[in-house]
Every structure is written in structure tokens, then in C-alpha cells.
Chains A and B, each alone.
Chain A
């Protein structure tokens, strides 16, 4: 309890909305948890001290904002906007397809309780992840997406979260349920607009049922001086496919947790990430794939380019349980360091308890391939242009995983 009273983050939070059972339970769990220190294994290279010490305000009214910089103009999508943690009716689309259910939290908990009670907060790691417990205890609003059986959504759903005042703390919550044979692509943007010292703490629970297909493209483009913690907790059933692409464009502190329980056979799980950091930016990507059933494949490709005093962390864990035979798990993390003062900490972890599996992992961190730079120069491409060309080529391997072309080009443009 001592910790709770001492830090400004929790002092600035108050529970909003109805006295939800889930919130109360999480709050009880939170009391027994401690914030991580450098001694906490999963947070060894990412200090949360600065984040906890800041004074925050919790916004209770919806603000209007010019969102043009965060929209992807060419992308045709169903748009849902949250501002400072609050749902903005004004900025969101009015009409959503009848074939799906799209609602906001906490409203959805009343309206669609029968659909939600088997999923909401059932896989969130309130017991072990303190920021998840904080989110569950204090989340203001969020979005619930329900894709019924056999519904294939042709347009993506673009969920935009933006902080617009200084020192805002936003706990936002998302639940995505894809019923059997359904398909959906969700784009989640996290941004700030003329704001500094904000903290966004987002938790997304995803249920990918039998033969369903879910893609989440996360675009993180907060301004310098802002902090983002982004957790995705997914659960897959038989023959399903789940992909998370995490593209970190900017923001000073970004921690991504992607945890996938593959609880079905013949599943495909894919996690890709790209981080291009400058200044004092810190990006930490933690992934965990838990193979519980046989005959599945998981792919991971995380790539980063670090400039100036940027720091990066990659920690990818693959667990293959005893009964999960015939698993193929591939993991790669590649980094280019462009400055003496930039650092990268990469750690792949494999825990394999089954005997008939194919797993590989590899991590590389280095400077530019000077031979390649010289080769390009010798053909008449100036040194700077050569380096840009090589960075672009390096990043393209991850960007190519984003299937929405308009989105891919938009991110590519932002990265230049």
C-alpha cells in the first residue's frame, strides 16, 4: 500500500462511472502489486520512475480537436475517436455497418452484457501486470468491437486516441471479439496534439475464435515528451489467424506488450514491429507467444533504427507447452544503430517443453553496412542518399507486412 500512496500517477486517478465489479476486483488486486523497478526482470531496461513521478490530470469532458494530422486521408475506414480518454461522438463516424456491433465503454457493459461477460476482462493480466490492473481499475472509456459469425468487414475500423492537453492521463480500454469465420482489420492510432507530459495506458483484449482472422495495425505517433503504455492481450482458437503490426513513429516513452495465447490448433500468429527513434526516445517491445496446442506457426519480425541518444528494448518470449507438438516459431530482431550514444537491448527467450518443434530466433544489432554504402556511392548515389536508401530498404521489410496500402504509405511518409 505504501507505493500506492507515494506515487503521483495513482494519486491523480479516480474511479469514474459505474461501480463495476471488474473495476473493484482489479482495484483490490492493484493494492497487492508493486510498480516495477530496474530489478523487475521484465522492466530491466525500462524505468517507469519518471512516469510515476509526474502530476497528471484526468479529463472528464470531451474536447474538440483538429484531427487532420492523425487521419489517414486516403484510407477508407470506419472511424472511432477518443480524445483524452473520452469517446468523441463529434469526431467519430455516425453510421457503422449493421453487420457488426461497435459501442463504447462503459456503455457496452450495460447494453451488451450477454455478449461481453464471457470475454471482457477475462484475459487481461490484472494479477501480474500492474499497468493492466491500473487500466482496469480506472479506465474512463474505450471501444467494443464485435464481429458476428461469418461477417467479413471490407473496410478497416480506425480507432484514434489523442491527448490534447498537457499532463493528461488516459486509461483506455478496448475489446475486440471476432466470432468464427469472421474477419476484421483494426487500425489503432495513438497520438497527441500540442500536448506534453501525458500518459496513455491502453489495454486491448482480443478474441479470435475458430477460423477467424484479425489484424491490428498499431500506429504510435505521440509528440516528444509523451508516454505510452500499450498492451495487447489476445486469445486464439482453432484455425484462426492473428496479426499485430506495431509501428512506432515517435513519442518519448513507449512500452508495448503483445501477449498471445494460442489455444487452438492450426493457428497462425504474427507479430511485427518497426521503431525509428531519434532524440531521447525510448521504445520497449515485449512479446509473448504461448503455444498451448499443436500444429501452429508463429512469426515475429521486429526491426529498429536508433539515432541520437535513443534507446530500445526487444524481449520476445516463445513458450511451447508439452502438448504443443509440431509448432513452428520464428523470431527475428534486427537493429541499426546510427549513433555512438544510442543503445539497444535485445533478448529472445525460448521455453520449449514439447520435443517435436521447429523454433528459431536471431538478433542482430550493428552499424550500417559500410560496404553497401560505398557500393552505392561508387555508382553515383551520394552518401546521405545511400544511407537513406538503406534505411528505407531495412524498414520496408516490416512495412510490407501492413496490408492496407494507404496506411503503409502514410506511415512511410511520416518516417521520412
Chain B
């Protein structure tokens, strides 16, 4: 039996800037299959920049370091290729796209991936079966599924839609960027239930959050504290509780 756990993501000495401003200043992170990593940190520490760089947003320039994903140079891939290779970013602010239906856009996305891997498009029947099954997971109504992407959705519905899309695309590595922001407790539970159900030994998640609250529902294997563009402390799930109680000051002062 092969006991070696698959290394999924390896970030080494990552530096990234927006314009003239350096935001990530030598970040290291390693994620293996089956793991859940939480990244916490005060505002402006670089949490969203990390997710943006991993997803391939053009405005962020990587000035140093490397990111290897399943043996590939991640930074060489454009955003759609990253998606096809199994990376999923749940947006902090999901974008509204009038006129593009939720379902058609997912079908296009899935079939473009099929094409990338030289496979036939997914049959309509199979696709609809998948839609039915995965939307039930996050209690997304038929009405919302057929509407324009995120148009007229409440904050909670938008986040549930993100997890629905994640379920449909079955990623290997999911990055949840402040998915808990703006969610009431019921929506939070639904979202967390979706994420937990999708969890397997073959995939991994990076959960970026401000608050410990989400981690009551999505229990991390590791908690990292990001501060001033670097990870300054790593611990188990108890670190999140400690941060909740003591704040970030005791850590940031050590690193000042």
C-alpha cells in the first residue's frame, strides 16, 4: 500500500505586488491531499492577494518565488487552465453576470474542460442529473439555478451558488476566500455542510477567513496566520481558538 500522501500545492518564497506595492513578501505553504488549511490574519495581511495569485488574476504580479501544483508550474497557467486542472476559487464577492444563465455557463465550463482533456461533452441527461444532485447539497432552488449568474441573488444565495459551482466542477484544490463574510448562521451551516460533504482524501481546501466562527463548521487540519505578506505562525485547529480569544496582537508584536 502506498502510504505517501500526495503533495498538492507547494508555495515557495512567494512575493507578489499590485502596482508598486508589495503585498506578499516571501510566503511558504504546503498542502497535501485530504487536508484542510485555514489561513487567518488581520485586514491587509495579504489573504485575498494569495487567493488571487493562486487563481491567476492578472493585476497581481509575482516578482519572486514559485508555486508548484501537482507537479506543474502553476504560475505558467492561465486562469481557465488552472480551473481545468482542478483549482477552484470561491469568490469573496461573486460577480453578477446579466444575461448569462447559471446553468448554461456551468455547462459551457464543464464542456470546455472535457475538451481540454480530449473528452466528449457531457450528455444533457447526465448534466441535469448532476445539477439536481449538487444543488440539493446547498439547497439552491430551481429558480436560482436558471437565473442569470448571481443576478438578484441575496448575499447568502451568492455564496451557496459558489459552493454549488464547486460541487459541479469537482475541484482538487478549493480556495474559499472569506466565504463566511456576510453570511447568517443558517447560510453558514448550509455552505459548510456543502464543503464538508465534498471533502475527500483526494482533494484539499484552503479556507481563508477572518473569524474563527466558520472553523467551527469546517474543521481545519492546519491554521496559518498570515501577517504582512508572510505566514508567521502555523498550528492545529486550537490556534484558531487562541486567536479568537487573544486577537492577533501577541503574534504581530513578536514579528514587528
Kindly list chain A residues whose C-beta atoms are within 8 Å of the C-beta of B58. Answer: 374
Known: A375-B94, A379-B169, A397-B99. Is A389-B79 also a contact (CB below 8 A)?
Answer: no
A382 at the interface (CB under 8 A from B): yes
Distance in Å: Cβ of A147 to nearest Cβ of chain B: 35
Are B99's CB and A393's CB within 8 A? Answer: yes
Distance in Å: Cβ of B215 to nearest Cβ of chain A: 24
B236 at the interface (CB under 8 A from A): no
Could you tell me which residues of chain B, from 67 to 84, have a CB within 8 Å of some CB in chain A? 78-80, 82-84
- Name the segment of B100-108, B121-129, B136-144 touching the other chain: B100-108
Q: Which of A369, A383, A396, A397 contacts B80 (CB under 8 A)?
A: A383
Kindly list chain B residues whose C-beta atoms are within 8 Å of the C-beta of A376. Answer: 97, 100, 105, 109
Are B106's CB and A379's CB within 8 A? Answer: yes
- Most chain A CB atoms below 10 A, which of B58, B97, B165: B97
B113 at the interface (CB under 8 A from A): yes
A390 at the interface (CB under 8 A from B): yes
Known: A374-B57, A375-B91, A389-B105. Is A380-B169 also a contact (CB below 8 A)?
Answer: yes
Q: Which of B80, B91, B97 contacts A382 (CB under 8 A)?
A: B80
B91 to chain A: closest residue by CB = A375
Kindly list chain B residues whose C-beta atoms are within 8 Å of the C-beta of A365. Answer: none
Instruction: Report how far A381 CA is from B83 CA in the complex, Å.
Output: 9
Q: Mark A145-158, 1 if CB is under 8 A from B, else 0.
A: 00000000000000
Instruction: Report how far A374 CA is from B82 CA in the complex, Å.
Output: 12
Distance in Å: Cβ of B87 to nearest Cβ of chain A: 8
A371 at the interface (CB under 8 A from B): yes
Are B109's CB and A379's CB within 8 A? Answer: yes
Could you tell me which residues of chain A, from 344 to 384, have a CB within 8 Å of some CB in chain B? 369, 371-372, 374-383
B89 at the interface (CB under 8 A from A): yes
Kindly list chain B residues whose C-beta atoms are within 8 Å of the C-beta of A371. Answer: 95
Known: A380-B112, A381-B109, A382-B112. Is A372-B79 also a contact (CB below 8 A)?
Answer: no
A385 at the interface (CB under 8 A from B): yes
Could you tell me which residues of chain A, from 229 to 273, have a CB within 8 Å of some CB in chain B? none
Distance in Å: Cβ of A228 to nearest Cβ of chain B: 28
Distance in Å: Cβ of A119 to nearest Cβ of chain B: 40
B114 to chain A: closest residue by CB = A380
Kindly list chain B residues whose C-beta atoms are within 8 Å of the C-beta of A392. Answer: 99
Are B95's CB and A372's CB within 8 A? Answer: yes
Kindly list chain A residues whose C-beta atoms are within 8 Å of the C-beta of B56. Answer: 377-378
Could you tell me the dominant secondary structure of chain A's interface residues?
helix
Are A380's CB and B84's CB within 8 A? Answer: yes
Kindly list chain B residues whose C-beta atoms are within 8 Å of the C-beta of A35. Answer: none
Are B78's CB and A383's CB within 8 A? Answer: yes
Kindly list chain B residues whose C-beta atoms are within 8 Å of the C-beta of A396. Answer: 99
B55 at the interface (CB under 8 A from A): yes
Known: A381-B112, A385-B108, A385-B112. Is A375-B80 also a contact (CB below 8 A)?
Answer: no
Kindly list chain A residues whose C-beta atoms are within 8 Å of the C-beta of B100. Answer: 376, 389-390, 393
Kindly list chain B residues whose C-beta atoms are within 8 Å of the C-beta of A374. Answer: 57-58, 79, 95
Kindly list chain B residues whose C-beta atoms are within 8 Å of the C-beta of A383. Answer: 78, 80
B110 at the interface (CB under 8 A from A): yes
B98 at the interface (CB under 8 A from A): yes
Known: A385-B108, A385-B112, A389-B105. Is A377-B98 also a contact (CB below 8 A)?
Answer: no
A394 at the interface (CB under 8 A from B): yes
- Most chain B CB atoms below 10 A, which of A371, A394, A396, A397: A371
Kindly list chain A residues whose C-beta atoms are within 8 Å of the C-beta of B149. Answer: 375
Are A377's CB and B80's CB within 8 A? Answer: yes
Kindly list chain A residues whose C-beta atoms are within 8 Å of the C-beta of B89. Answer: 378
Distance in Å: Cβ of B106 to nearest Cβ of chain A: 7
Kindly list chain A residues whose C-beta atoms are within 8 Å of the C-beta of B108. Answer: 381, 385, 389
Are B97's CB and A390's CB within 8 A? Answer: yes
Instruction: Report how far A381 CA is from B99 CA in the complex, Å.
Output: 16
Are A380's CB and B80's CB within 8 A? Answer: yes
Could you tell me which residues of chain B, from 35 to 62, have a CB within 8 Å of some CB in chain A? 55-58
Kindly list chain A residues whose C-beta atoms are within 8 Å of the C-beta of B91. Answer: 375, 378
Instruction: Report how far A130 CA is from B32 CA in the complex, Å.
Output: 75
Kindly list chain A residues whose C-beta atoms are within 8 Å of the C-beta of B165. Answer: 379
Q: Which of A375, A377, A378, A385 contacts B97 (CB under 8 A)?
A: A375
Instruction: Report how far A383 CA is from B58 CA in the complex, Å.
Output: 12
A394 to chain B: closest residue by CB = B99
Kindly list chain B residues whose C-beta atoms are within 8 Å of the C-beta of A381. Answer: 80, 105, 108-109, 112
Distance in Å: Cβ of B119 to nearest Cβ of chain A: 13
Not counting A374-B57, A376-B97, A380-B84, a sample of 5 additional A-B residue pairs whose C-beta atoms are within 8 angstroms of each other reads A369-B95, A377-B78, A379-B106, A381-B109, A392-B99
Closest 9 CB pairs of A and B: A393-B99, A380-B83, A377-B79, A375-B95, A380-B109, A379-B109, A393-B100, A377-B80, A382-B80
Provide a sorted-by-A list of 14 A–B residue pairs whose CB atoms are within 8 angstroms. A372-B95, A374-B79, A375-B91, A375-B94, A376-B97, A376-B109, A377-B79, A377-B80, A379-B105, A379-B169, A381-B80, A381-B105, A381-B109, A393-B100
Instruction: List residues of A whose CB falls within 8 A of some B CB.
Output: 369, 371-372, 374-383, 385, 389-390, 392-394, 396-397
